[in-house]
């Protein structure tokens, strides 16, 4: 007898998860997917609206203006049908509220794109400065890179400048 995969074939992961998830979790995942694909339901008004939650048999949608709320109320039957067919959410209509719609945040560009670029000469100078204090090559290299970045970032000054290194015991 052979062990391993059953001869009938493997079940899709979705089918396995279908039985393992509770109804509220399935509904939450469907709502999250609907939110990501909201444009396919709301069309050109997707940027000015967003689904919030399911309350009973109504999908609560927030929109930016009263005029848009009226438009959604008129189209709510068709939208609810599309949502029920596409996402399996048990909605028969929409409940529209007017308020601020949170926009998708764009990832800000890195603040210091060139902060970690330094020349070989800067790195060699930093290694010479570190060499008398650190014998381990890995630590010495890491500290030299840090010192070169610090020098580039703060204009040539180095940490510890102006500190009296004489030992007085």
Residues 135 and 66 in one domain: no
Neighbours of 126 (CB within 10 A): 23
Residue with token string 């703060």 = 154
CA distance 31 to 38: 10
**Residue 145: what pLDDT?**
86
* Position 166 in a domain: no
Q: Name the domain count of the chain.
A: 2
Report the run of H or E that residue 16 belongs to, with start and end: helix 13-20
* Position 49 in a domain: yes
Range of the domain at 126: 120-153
Residues 25 and 61 in one domain: yes
When pLDDT is averaged across residues 66-94 and rounded to a whole number, the result is 92
Residues 87 and 33 in one domain: yes
* Position 70 in a domain: yes
Residues 70 and 125 in one domain: no
* Position 52 in a domain: yes
User: Model confidence over 109-134: pLDDT tens digits?
Assistant: 766 655 567 788 888 888 888 888 88
Residues 29 and 91 in one domain: yes
CA distance 65 to 99: 7
**pTM over cut 0.85:** no
Residues 66 and 126 in one domain: no
The CA-based angle 89-105-115, given to 5 degrees, is: 145
Q: Is the pLDDT of residue 97 over 50?
A: yes
What's 55's domain CATH number? 3.30.300.180
Phi-psi region at 160: left, alpha or beta (left = phi > 0; alpha = psi -120 to 50)? left
CA distance 84 to 76: 12
Pairing outcome for strands 93-98 and 49-55? unpaired
Return all residues near 126 (Cβ < 8 A) that are at least 6 apart.
143, 144, 145, 147, 148, 151
Q: Among positive and negative, which fits the CA dihedral 118, 120, 125, 129? A: positive
């Amino acid at each position: 007898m052979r062990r391993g995969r059953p001869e009938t074939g493997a079940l899709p992961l979705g089918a396995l998860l279908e039985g393992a998830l509770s109804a509220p979790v399935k509904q939450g995942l469907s709502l999250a997917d609907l939110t990501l694909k909201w444009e396919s339901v709301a069309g050109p008004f997707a940027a000015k609206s967003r689904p919030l939650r399911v309350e009973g048999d109504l999908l609560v949608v927030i929109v930016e203006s009263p005029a848009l709320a009226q438009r959604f109320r008129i189209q709510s039957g068709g939208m609810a049908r599309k949502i029920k067919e596409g996402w399996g959410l048990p909605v028969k209509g929409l409940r529209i509220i007017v308020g601020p719609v949170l926009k998708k945040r764009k990832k800000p560009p890195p603040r210091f794109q060139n902060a970690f670029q330094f020349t070989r000469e800067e790195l060699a100078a930093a290694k010479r400065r570190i060499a008398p204090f650190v014998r381990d090559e890995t630590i010495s290299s890491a500290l030299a890179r840090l010192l070169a970045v610090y020098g580039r970032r703060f204009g040539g000054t180095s940490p510890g400048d102006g500190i009296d290194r004489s030992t007085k015991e």
